[in-house]
Amino acid sequence: MKTRREDVAVARAGAGPREHESGEVAAPVGFEGIVRPDGRVGTRNHIGILTSVNCSATVAKMIASRSAALAEEFPNVDGVVALTHGTGCGMAADGDGIRLLRRTLNGYARHPNFAALLVVGLGCEVAQLTGFDLPEGTPTMTIQEMGGTAATVRHGVEVVRELLPEADRVERTPVPVAELVLGLADTGTGGPANPALGAAVDLLVRHGGTAVLAGTPQVRGAEHLLACRAAAPAVAERLAGRIHWWERHVGLPSPDTPERAVAKGGTSPLTAVHEYAEPVTERGLVFMDTPGQAAVSATGQIAGGATVMCVTTGGGPADGRRPVPGLNLAATREAYRAMAEDMDLDVSAGEAAMMGERIFRLVLEVASGRRTAGEELGPGDEEFAPWQIGAVM
């Protein structure tokens, strides 16, 4: 399960597509995925510790830290990850803010990259555990009911100990490319790499897969390029509605190069438009309404079902985003040279179509278990960043 990159130099350069003797690229038929009992397909096998409120963040991190050694005994478990956030308490009991938080946490709770979950609250927060739609049988606990911090940590570690053996009983099996959901993000400096990522998206869609384009403020001003590709009038209308929401609530100006942001979605038809963290059920290219900031955008896409992330960057750090592997795509040679250990591929090394082939191949290898630069380096917990809307009380 914990497949390490056998050749770091080759991995950073990006494994090129295999070719027949005729020179034609061999079409990939799928990847090695993790099929859950309900049919969902994941790319990683984590145990997750989710929090309903910032007040339980420390406890969740302590449980994960103290469970790390236990997880090492189970080779098919990729790790125990605590995903914490800064809200859940001083917020309105209804409205967009708490709806977004619940939708995000519900999406993570049902994510196929989690083999099992533990959800931890404080007990008196606005975002009560009873308000979440968690998978049946998910263990939950509150610090107040357990008798305090130390008792909750001890009990949490025991819960993880009980979850590990069953989580370890997984095997990767061949699945079609159509089972892959690829999230797309841009740190704001990744524009030059976006046409190549778009070429990879077109290949993914051609093989029946799904790609999630996001970052509404980044595409404003070029939304017509997406609307003209909408599979139905209702899709274009929904996109316009999300753009208008931002104009009413934020009044944001158009970015300098919105066409670059749109480019990472390729040229495929737009099949659906979703609000933040909504489940993505359609195949093909879809759009999700998110802020442009990469961590917040990726969090919404993962909650919606993305099982691999691609992030274009001109110099951002290694992308973790657990429980989902994140590929960092260097937009320029300078960015790659400056932070080579943080990058998975130098996208400036060739023309867009060729690099799109490389990205597509690399995505399938990562979906099959090949570790990314971010996974090698270890980050991924702090990048969980649900979109916060509304006043802090």
Write the DSSP string, 32-81.
Answer: EEEE-TTS-EES--EEEEEESSGGGHHHHHHHHHHHHHHHTT-TT--EEE
What integer pLDDT is reported at residue 251 of this predicted model? Answer: 77
Position 282 in a domain: yes
User: Do residues 139 and 116 share a domain?
Assistant: yes
Position 23 in a domain: no
User: Do residues 111 and 257 share a domain?
Assistant: no
Q: Which of 138, 167, 196 is the last residue of a domain?
A: 167
Does pLDDT of 13 surpass 60?
no
Position 74 in a domain: yes
Using left for φ > 0, alpha for ψ between -120 and 50, and beta otherwise, residue 198 falls in: alpha
- 41-42 and 30-35 strand pairing: antiparallel
CA distance 168 to 109: 18
| Count of other CB atoms within 10 angstroms of residue 169 | 9
What integer pLDDT is reported at residue 380 of this predicted model? Answer: 65
CA distance 108 to 302: 7
For the entire predicted model, the pTM comes to 0.92
Burial class from Cβ neighbours inside 10 Å (0-12, 13-18, 19+) for residue 94 reads: exposed
pLDDT tens readout for residues 317-354: 776 788 999 999 999 999 999 999 999 999 998 999 99
Does pLDDT of 3 surpass 60?
no
Task: Please give the tally of structural domains in the chain.
Answer: 2
Does pLDDT of 10 surpass 60?
no
CA distance 78 to 64: 13
Position 243 in a domain: yes
Q: Specify the CATH number for the domain of residue 70.
A: 3.40.50
Q: Dihedral of CA 343/105/287/209: which sign?
A: positive
pLDDT tens readout for residues 299-318: 999 999 999 999 999 987 77
Position 207 in a domain: yes
User: Do residues 160 and 188 share a domain?
Assistant: no
User: Do residues 150 and 196 share a domain?
Assistant: no
Q: Dihedral of CA 182/184/190/193: which sign?
A: positive
152: its two tokens: 């909750």
User: Do residues 326 and 216 share a domain?
Assistant: yes
User: Do residues 345 and 248 share a domain?
Assistant: yes
What integer pLDDT is reported at residue 14 of this predicted model? Answer: 35
Position 264 in a domain: yes
Name the residue among 158, 132, 154 with its Cα closest to residue 143. Answer: 154
Average pLDDT over residues 255-261: 87
User: Do residues 199 and 148 share a domain?
Assistant: no
User: Do residues 153 and 181 share a domain?
Assistant: no
Position 370 in a domain: yes
Q: Which of 104, 138, 167 is the last residue of a domain?
A: 167
User: Do residues 260 and 120 share a domain?
Assistant: no
pLDDT tens readout for residues 269-295: 999 999 999 999 999 999 999 999 999
Q: Which of 167, 194, 223 is the last residue of a domain?
A: 167
313: its two tokens: 């960057």
Does pLDDT of 114 surpass 90?
yes
What is the extent of the structural domain holding 347?
177-377
Question: What share of the chain has pLDDT > 70, as a percent?
Answer: 91
User: If pLDDT is split at 50, 70 and 90, which confidence band does 23 have?
Assistant: very low
User: Do residues 327 and 217 share a domain?
Assistant: yes
Beta bridge partners of 176: 30
User: Do residues 159 and 194 share a domain?
Assistant: no
User: Do residues 160 and 206 share a domain?
Assistant: no
Run of H or E residues at 287: strand 284-288
CA distance 87 to 103: 14
Does pLDDT of 68 surpass 70?
yes
Position 21 in a domain: no
User: If pLDDT is split at 50, 70 and 90, which confidence band does 28 have?
Assistant: low
State phi, psi for 35 to the nearest 5 degrees. Answer: -90, 120
What integer pLDDT is reported at residue 354 of this predicted model? Answer: 95
372: its two tokens: 């990314």
- Chain mean pLDDT for the chain: 90
Asked if 220 and 254 count as a contact pair (C-beta separation under 8 A), the reply is yes
58: its two tokens: 């420390």
Average pLDDT over residues 24-32: 67
pLDDT tens readout for residues 204-236: 999 999 999 999 999 999 999 999 999 999 999
Q: Measure Cα distances from 357 to 131, 198, 324 in Å.
A: 44, 10, 21
Give buried/exposed letters for 330-355 (b at 16+ CB in 10 A, else e). Answer: bbbeebbeebeebbbbbbbeeebeeb
- 270-274 and 140-142 strand pairing: unpaired
